Amino acid sequence: MDISDNSFTYKGRNNILQINNPEFITSVAINVSKQIGRLLERTEKDLIINLVKNIDPERVERQSPTQIHASLVKICVGKLRKAQEAKSVLPRSKEQEFKDYLDSEIGVVGENDVATSQEAKKDVSFKSGLSVFVSSILGQSSDREIQRIFNPVARNRKAYVNLDSKYRLLNEGGTTFYKWNVVNIREQAPGAVNVIGSLRDIVALRVYPTRLPYPSDGSGDTEYKQINMLIDEFASQAVIAQEGRRYHIVFKTTVDGDWIDLNCYEQNNGRFRFVQPVTTLSTLTVSFAAATTIVPFDADRLLSFVSSYGSPTIVSTAPTPHNLRTGNRVSITGFTTYNPVVDDILIKTINSATFTVIVLSTTTFSIPISTASLYYQITGTVGVVNGSNAITGTGTTFTTDFKTGDGIAITDSGAITRRYRVAQIIDNLNLLIESNYAGITEAGLISYKDNRVYGLNFTTYFESKRLLLTMEFEYIYPDESRAL
């Protein structure tokens, strides 16, 4: 497609460094000068600079710098020759000529490039030498006000959000959709995505390529090799498919192990433009479908418990299958012990680290960290006296095995195990417990260090089920020159 004047309508600053640089602009100016057979005036050079600086990257992303160069030269030569011919035509009214100028020029001027001097802000000079004051025609005195009237798109801004399923709302969705609150604060909040400033009057969105966790039922891997995405808050302005399905973006899919790569089609590059601006946005809810069939999410976190303390540590999600594979990564929150002060380092490590798992069964897996120090049989035997808090050891090493606050579990001759908290360690053969022993008086009993929390359930998060989604929102920026 050849570049036309419309290609340079301002939509956002040109970020294509291959053409938005002094060398490229100088080359365009030299070729224009050669074709019109004279040196360029300052205003003509400014025209070329502004054209290049404000090219819409989306309109020329498939063209090479050489093609863009040729088209720019053609456009500029045409503009200058047209201006030269206009000198021989009877002059029209100032208002009409000003409107014609705006129709052909205002779209290519960026918000910071409308005027390059104080004089230029006050008046607009034409090639014919005609000068008119903006305020005398439209009652407007600033370039921003002119843009607001003739090129409102120039006021648009972009905001970016990163949706992370690890920090989604946990009380909504999780199987067929994920949801977040949208907040305009800098601090992180549970279940929220942060946006600086007020995101309102949204006119378009863009979704960047991402990866979808491969669902255990294989529903995302179909012969269509496509997955579409819906943002529920924008459902009233979406593509309407069959069976009640709506969507905004269609992705090409490629399976890569535990993931499905979602890549945007070149035709729209992940963009969707709304017919009417979306006035407010307080939540974001996303779902995916293959054709019209919803792609479900596997559980990305489950309540778990340690089924075997040792090295490695065995974790169980029973009775719910975890749908993990050996090599997947998990993280844990909510783990603690019977003596959290003494076990502080181990607790913090488990609750902050990411572990690579070895799957043992559909409900169990091991993580490479030792919890053997929390539960083991101690050396020697102990003697107890009913109603006494004194524990006497034979061949024991109490000073090595215990710290104040630890748990000591004693199994009596009837196979009943009772746990007590250690109050004081006197020496390797004597210690005191916080409460009196409740069993019968006996000697030669087996005992354990036991810092487990009975019935403890913690949350295991499956990093291999994590969705990271980056979105770009284009919105109408409030006019600073007018009170809203």
**pLDDT digit string, tens, across residues 244-279:** 899 999 999 999 998 999 999 988 889 999 999 998
Q: How far is 323 from 94, CA to CA, in rounded Å? A: 74
Lowest mean per-residue pLDDT among 80-89, 177-186, 340-349: 80-89
- Select the more confidently predicted residue: 78 or 16: 78
Residue type, 102: L
In this structure, the chain runs to a length of: 484
Q: Give the list of residues 6+ apart from residue 405 with CB closer than 8 angstroms, or none.
A: 339, 341, 342, 421, 422
What is the chain's alpha carbon radius of gyration, rounded to the nearest angstrom? 35
Q: Please report the sign of the dihedral spanned by the C-alpha atoms of residue 112, residue 116, residue 121, residue 125.
A: negative
pLDDT at 154: 55
- The continuous run of DSSP H or E covering 122 comes out as helix 118-122
Rounded to the nearest integer, the mean pLDDT of the chain is 82
pLDDT at 83: 77
What is the maximal distance between C-alpha atoms in the chain?
121
| Tens digit of each residue's pLDDT (9 = 90 or more) over 443-462 | 999 999 999 999 999 999 99
pLDDT at 378: 96
Q: Give the mean model confidence (pLDDT) for residues 105-127.
A: 39
Residue type, 206: R
Tokens of 166: 């690890």
Q: What are the backbone angles phi and psi of residue 191, rounded to the nearest 5°?
A: 70, 20
CA 161 to chain centre: 6
Report the 10 Å Cβ neighbour count for 339: 22
Q: Give the mean model confidence (pLDDT) for residues 83-107.
A: 53
Give, rounded to a whole angstrom, the gap between the first and last alpha carbons of the chain.
Answer: 41
Residues 436 and 417: beta-carbon distance below 8 Å: no
Q: What are the backbone angles phi and psi of residue 75, rounded to the nearest 5°?
A: -65, -45
| Tens digit of each residue's pLDDT (9 = 90 or more) over 43-76 | 888 878 877 777 766 666 677 888 888 888 888 8
**Is residue 192 predicted with pLDDT exceeding 70?**
yes
What percentage of the chain exceeds 70 in pLDDT?
Answer: 79
pLDDT at 197: 67
Lowest mean per-residue pLDDT among 114-118, 372-376, 401-405: 114-118
**Is residue 174 predicted with pLDDT exceeding 70?**
yes
- Select the more confidently predicted residue: 53 or 333: 333
CA 354 to chain centre: 20
Q: How far is 340 from 334, CA to CA, in rounded Å? A: 12
Q: How far is 131 from 93, CA to CA, in rounded Å? A: 12
pLDDT at 114: 37
Q: Give the mean model confidence (pLDDT) for residues 327-349.
A: 97
Tokens of 393: 């050891």
Q: How far is 250 from 260, CA to CA, in rounded Å? A: 14
Q: Hey, which residues does 262 pair with through a beta bridge?
A: 210, 253
Q: How far is 428 from 273, CA to CA, in rounded Å? A: 75
pLDDT at 72: 83
Q: Please report the sign of the dihedral spanned by the C-alpha atoms of residue 411, residue 311, residue 421, residue 353.
A: negative
**Is residue 324 predicted with pLDDT exceeding 60?**
yes
Q: Give the mean model confidence (pLDDT) for residues 295-307.
A: 95
- Helices 65-86 & 22-36 angle (0-180, nearest 10): 40
pLDDT at 216: 87
Residue type, 54: N
pLDDT at 437: 97
Q: Which of 376, 382, 359 is CA-nearest to residue 451?
A: 376
**Is residue 138 predicted with pLDDT exceeding 70?**
no
**Is residue 40 predicted with pLDDT exceeding 60?**
yes
Model confidence at 1, pLDDT cuts 50, 70, 90, reads very low
pLDDT at 126: 38
Q: Please report the sign of the dihedral spanned by the C-alpha atoms of residue 144, residue 148, residue 154, residue 156.
A: positive
pLDDT at 331: 97
Q: Which of 116, 135, 113 is CA-nearest to residue 55?
A: 113
Q: How far is 423 from 379, CA to CA, in rounded Å? A: 20
Q: Angle at CA 476, nearest 5°, toward 470 and 478?
A: 125
pLDDT at 39: 87
